[in-house]
């Protein structure tokens, strides 16, 4: 196998002077982000089937130009790492967070036995960007790049251009990927051209009233959209259903894969004791680590939140009539909806949609639980009136 050469991972700046203004620009026009993601190419006749049998989603059924989020799991069903697979004629592109690249390569190399699979060395490995906002299609056009929904020419094996999720133009790859409540694309540019392309893209974005966006704006926008982040909102200690990833990253009709028995059993019989949910509140923004309480209910079970456990609050105690239900993992104030939004890991009995919780203390700001398994649900709730 060929190990892809690693390279320094230039971190995106925290902001460009005004993170709230940067987030607002994405809603009003367009925003351009530098991503830490890496794109790895698996070649060989067995590449798609190999990934399919190792991970939680249906990879081998992807038509060329289509993609799917998936998970590598342990035998106990816990999440090892998330990734996105993109199908191409003759190979599969895997998009993965930069800090997980070495773990991914090691997993692939240790899993290949007799399969015709190899990591394709990319001497000019691409750098990843994200472009989002109502004007993103106009920005693409000004850069002489096609709309991602319709390619200018068919891929190998296609009789005519078709609507799909990936477009290739002059060795630049454009992937349909919504990382905010606005439509957007991920763009992979060869490293040798990345700085030049970024400068041109910045000019195009600013021409339409958009802005460069830093890591803080990116975080505000993903929380607002109800998109959890691995290592922040869920970790290797969580099952897919606990992380609310089963609707997006798991197929319950495909064949066997590592961890399938546990995941399928939960799907059939139910029974996770904690779950990642969205919270919408008209109060002030929460902070990561803030405890969450269920008001008006006795504490009838052991608290699942690591935050509350560390405070040695027994689950059977009454806390001013409230149940310690969990803790906040990510929080922000939505620029688009002018409301506090958060992601929180909460215990069974508190994660049903519409459940009313309190943030910070038993009599803290009220928040309503939103199921984030389907993308867009948190934004829809934030746009609605809280009962």
Which two structure tokens, joined as six digits, stand for 277? 């949910």
Closest CA to 349 of 340, 357, 359, 341: 357
How buried is 361 (Cβ within 10 angstroms: 0-12 exposed, 13-18 middle, 19+ buried)? middle
Decide: 332 and 244 in contact? Cβ < 8 Å. no
pLDDT at 311: 36
Residue 13 pLDDT more than 80? Answer: yes
What is the rounded distance in angstroms from the CA atom of residue 38 to the CA atom of residue 274? 31
Tokens of 25: 């620009």
pTM for the predicted model, two decimal places: 0.86
- CATH 3.40.50.2300 at 30-209, yes or no: no
Which is more confidently placed, 258 or 314?
Answer: 258
Which residue, among 69, 3, 1, 10, has the nearest Cα to 34 in the 3D structure?
Answer: 10
Q: Mark residue 320 as left, alpha or beta (left: phi above 0; alpha: psi -120 to 50; beta: remaining).
A: left
Q: Do domains 30-209 and 246-382 have the same CATH topology?
A: no
Over residues 36-52, the mean pLDDT reads 94
At 147 the pLDDT is 66
Q: Answer yes or no: is pLDDT of 382 > 50.
A: yes
Q: Looking at the predicted structure, is the pLDDT value of residue 284 above 60? A: yes
Q: Domain residue spans in the chain?
A: 30-209, 246-382
Q: Is 148 exposed, middle or buried (0-12, 13-18, 19+ CB in 10 A)?
A: buried
**Per-residue confidence (pLDDT) for residue 386, from 0 to 100:** 59
Dihedral sign computed on CA atoms, order 60, 61, 65, 68: negative
Tokens 């928040």, residue?
367
Query: Mean of the pLDDT values across residues 20-30?
Result: 98
Residues contacting 157, CB < 8 A, separation 6+: 64, 89
Q: Please write the tens of the pLDDT for every residue from 52-103.
A: 999 999 999 998 888 999 999 999 999 999 999 999 988 999 999 999 999 9
Largest CA distance in the chain: 67
Instruction: Classify strands 118-120 and 91-96 as parallel, antiparallel or unpaired.
Output: unpaired
Over residues 221-233, mean pLDDT? 96
When pLDDT is cut at 50, 70 and 90, the band that residue 151 belongs to is very low
- Whole-angstrom CA distances from 217 to 17, 107, 131 are 11, 32, 13
Please state which architecture CATH assigns to domain 246-382.
Beta Barrel (2.40)
As a whole number, mean pLDDT of residues 260-267 equals 94
Q: What is the mean pLDDT of residues 106-122?
A: 90
Percent residues over pLDDT 90 in the chain: 70
Q: pLDDT at residue 38 above 70?
A: yes
Residue 30 pLDDT grade (very low, low, confident, very high; cuts 50, 70, 90): very high
Q: Residues 253, 259, 264, CA angle at the centre, nearest 5°?
A: 40
Secondary structure class of 268 (helix, strand, coil): helix
């Amino acid at each position: 196998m060929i190990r892809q050469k690693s390279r320094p991972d230039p971190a995106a700046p925290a902001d460009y002077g005004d993170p709230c203004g940067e987030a607002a620009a994405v809603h009003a026009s367009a925003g351009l982000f530098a991503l830490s993601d890496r794109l790895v190419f698996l070649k060989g006749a067995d590449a798609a089937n190999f990934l399919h049998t190792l991970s939680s989603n249906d990879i081998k059924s992807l038509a060329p130009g289509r993609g799917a989020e998936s998970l590598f799991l342990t035998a106990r069903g816990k999440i090892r790492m998330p990734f996105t697979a993109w199908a191409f004629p003759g190979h599969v592109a895997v998009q993965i967070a930069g800090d997980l690249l070495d773990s991914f390569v090691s997993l692939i190399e240790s899993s290949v036995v007799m399969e015709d699979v190899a990591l394709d060395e990319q001497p000019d490995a691409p750098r990843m960007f994200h472009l989002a906002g109502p004007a993103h299609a106009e920005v693409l056009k000004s850069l002489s790049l096609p709309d991602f929904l319709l390619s200018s020419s068919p891929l190998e094996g296609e009789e005519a251009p078709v609507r799909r999720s990936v477009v290739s133009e002059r060795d630049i790859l454009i992937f349909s990927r919504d990382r905010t409540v606005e439509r957007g694309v991920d763009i992979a540019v060869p490293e040798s051209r990345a700085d030049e392309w970024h400068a041109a893209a910045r000019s195009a974005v600013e021409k339409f009233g958009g802005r460069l966006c830093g890591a803080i704006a990116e975080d505000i926008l993903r929380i607002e959209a109800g998109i959890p982040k691995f290592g922040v909102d869920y970790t290797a200690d969580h099952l897919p259903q606990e992380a609310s990833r089963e609707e997006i990253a798991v197929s319950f009709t495909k064949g066997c894969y590592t961890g399938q028995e546990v995941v399928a059993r939960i799907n059939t019989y139910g029974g996770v004791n904690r779950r990642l949910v969205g919270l919408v509140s008209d109060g002030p923004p929460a902070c990561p680590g803030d405890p969450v309480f269920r008001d008006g209910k006795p504490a009838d079970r052991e608290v699942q939140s690591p935050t509350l456990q560390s405070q040695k609050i027994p689950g059977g105690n009454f806390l001013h009539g409230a149940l310690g239900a969990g803790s906040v993992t990510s929080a922000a104030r939505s620029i688009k909806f002018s409301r506090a939004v958060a992601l929180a890991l909460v215990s069974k009995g508190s994660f049903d949609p519409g459940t009313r919780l309190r943030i910070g203390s038993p009599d803290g700001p009220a928040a309503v639980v939103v199921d984030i398994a389907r993308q867009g649900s948190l934004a829809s709730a934030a746009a609605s009136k809280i009962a």
